[in-house]
């Protein structure tokens, strides 16, 4: 494991372990607060993310940011966001098992350095890789499982919510459960009541 976050980022940015390096504009290492207690882990960069070098900046990312704001979470302050694979799979296909296997060491190194108390797996690819190979988001979303002192939860991918908005309220429920858990653990400060004077 690398002990230095910047050194890890530089290593990942020059990675050529799999063929995804050939079509990339940018490696999408991750974004947010490396001291955060909560990590969100998606699948892999899409077109906008590849162009910008930052995770979740396209339409689904905008939806995710909006939903996170409701529960007092933001990449600017108190969460860190990364993906299972750091380079864009062509035509936004799912990353293959081999691509995930070749890239997951970088994610494990990020988790080792950030030491989050809670990891949210955003969508099937992250949840099946990190929680259980048989994980079903529609059935198991919103429940916490504990692994070596870290809580893991799976939830809907925002791209799936854009395709099927019916699941948006269930996805918000997951985030409210996350907020409640963070408040319970003292990892999030309760919101100040608004003063209307």
Query: Cα separation of 36 and 149, whole Å?
Result: 16
Q: Compute the least distance from the CB of residue 142 to ligand URA, in Å.
A: 18
Q: Compute the least distance from the CB of residue 59 to ligand URA, in Å.
A: 9
The residue (of 110 and 188) whose beta carbon lies closer to ligand URA is: 110
Residue 163 tokens read as 């395709």
Q: What's the number of CA atoms in the CB half-sphere (13 Å) around residue 25?
A: 10
Q: Which residue is nearest to ligand URA (CB)?
A: 42
The residue (of 8 and 159) whose beta carbon lies closer to ligand URA is: 159
Binding site for ligand URA (CB under 6 A): 42-46, 49, 55-56, 60-61, 83
Q: What's the number of CA atoms in the CB half-sphere (13 Å) around residue 94?
A: 10
The residue (of 30 and 116) whose beta carbon lies closer to ligand URA is: 30
- Strands (E) across the chain are located at 31-32, 38-42, 79-83, 118-122, 144-147, 150-155
Query: Cα separation of 83 and 86, whole Å?
Result: 6
The residue (of 164 and 189) whose beta carbon lies closer to ligand URA is: 164
Q: Compute the least distance from the CB of residue 123 to ligand URA, in Å.
A: 6
Q: How far is CA 109 from the centre of its chain?
A: 15
Q: Compute the least distance from the CB of residue 28 to ligand URA, in Å.
A: 6
């Amino acid at each position: 494991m690398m002990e230095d976050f910047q050194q890890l980022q530089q290593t990942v940015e020059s990675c050529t372990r799999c063929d995804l390096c050939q079509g990339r504009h940018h490696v999408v290492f991750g974004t947010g607060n490396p001291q955060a207690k909560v990590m969100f882990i998606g699948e892999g960069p899409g077109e906008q993310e590849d162009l910008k070098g930052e995770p979740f900046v396209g339409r689904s990312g905008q939806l995710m940011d909006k939903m996170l704001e409701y529960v007092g979470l933001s990449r600017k302050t108190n969460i860190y966001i990364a993906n299972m694979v750091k380079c864009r799979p062509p035509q936004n296909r799912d990353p293959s098992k081999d691509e995930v296997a070749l890239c997951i060491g970088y994610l494990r190194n990020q988790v080792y350095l950030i030491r989050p108390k809670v990891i949210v797996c955003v969508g099937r690819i992250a949840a099946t890789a990190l929680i259980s190979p048989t994980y079903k988001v529609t059935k198991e979303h919103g429940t916490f499982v504990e692994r070596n002192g870290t809580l893991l939860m799976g939830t809907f991918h925002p791209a799936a919510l854009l395709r099927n908005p019916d699941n948006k309220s269930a996805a918000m429920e997951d985030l409210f459960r996350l907020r409640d858990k963070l408040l319970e653990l003292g990892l999030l400060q309760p919101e100040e009541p608004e003063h209307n004077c």
